[in-house]
Amino acid sequence: MASGHIVASFDEDLAELKTMLAHLGGLAEKQFADATDALERRDIKNIDEIIARDALLDEMEFNLNERGIEIIALRAPVARDLRRIIVTIKVAAVLERIGDYAKNIAKRSRVIIEHENNKSDNVSLSRMATLVQQMLNQVLDAYVSGDVDSAMEVRDRDMEVDRLHTSLFGEILASMSEGSEQVSAGSHLLFIAKNIERIGDHTTGIAEQIFFLKNGQYPTDERPKADKSSVSALEQS
């Protein structure tokens, strides 16, 4: 197959970056899925492993960033080639941040599991986590395939995440008002729910980077938002 560039090694450089990002995305996706699964299953055994793996994710993001800068310095890319490298570096940073949220979810899940007085399931939290996992998987596939339409579908679905978060926020506050024994677990659940919602926001950010890579500009319409959790908090007070 003919190379897209006069210097074939530049194509190899770009392919290397793409592969590095795919590995980073796969690990970030696993971290998030494992963290939410540990809470749902009340499986404390895997939490230490999830937390420890975050260091690997940080290292992978650092190495990708260094490689991207090196390629820019050596190849002096312009136009779409430069956009591709910049977008890859930005998406890698977002994935590293998603890994941080996954680690926080794992840490708070451990506190809940160790100190909870009941085993009640939070269906709304599981539903929101599943939705965001699906969005993250779809946007990473869209990045690999260059499917802008699929990426924009992910962006639109963020409103559903916001609605679930608003509803869940109210549910958790209501449960916390039932007794002091619910306050500690409820507080951690609030932070876990917010972390999941933020992962949804970052996933939407990746979708917008895919749009930028293809079109050379970001979407001109305002990102759809429907999170009213702060309003719910005021209404509860």
Q: Is residue 214 a contact partner of residue 146, using CB atoms and an 8 Å limit? A: yes
pLDDT at 115: 79
Per-residue pLDDT, 166: 93
Q: What is the pLDDT of residue 7?
A: 64
Task: Please state the separation of Cα 120 from the chain's center in Å.
Answer: 26
Distance CA 174, CA 236 (A): 8
Separation between Cα atoms, residue 203 and residue 150, nearest integer Å: 12
- Which residue did the predictor score with more confidence, 7 or 71? 71
Residue 97 burial (C-beta neighbours within 10 Å; 0-12, 13-18, 19+): middle
Query: How confident is the model at residue 62, as a pLDDT?
Result: 98
Q: Exposed (0-12), middle (13-18) or buried (19+): which is 159, by Cβ within 10 Å?
A: middle
Which of 4-13, 39-48, 170-179, 194-203 tops mean pLDDT? 194-203
| Tens digit of each residue's pLDDT (9 = 90 or more) over 64-85 | 999 999 999 998 888 889 999 9
pLDDT in tens, 167-212: 999 988 888 887 766 788 889 999 999 999 999 999 999 999 999 9
Multiple choice CATH, 8-236, 3.40.50.720, 1.20.58.220, 3.40.640.10, 1.10.10.1150 = 1.20.58.220
Residue boundaries of the structural domains of the chain: 8-236
Residue 78: per-residue pLDDT? 86
Higher-confidence position of 45 and 90: 90
Q: Is 223 helix (H, G, I), strand (E, B) or coil?
A: coil
Q: What's the pLDDT score for residue 227? A: 62
Report the largest interatomic distance among the alpha carbons of the chain, rounded to a whole angstrom. 69
pTM: 0.88
What percent of the chain is modeled with pLDDT above 90?
69
pLDDT at 231: 43
CA-based end-to-end distance of the chain = 65
**Residue 13 pLDDT more than 70?**
yes
- pLDDT (tens digit, 9 = 90+) per residue, 118-170? 555 578 899 999 999 999 999 999 999 999 999 999 999 999 999 999 999 99
Please choose, from the candidates 13, 153, 147, 152, the residue with its C-alpha nearest in 3D space to the C-alpha of residue 88: 13
CB atoms within 10 A of CB 105: 27
- The per-residue pLDDT for 1 is 39
pLDDT of residue 126: 92
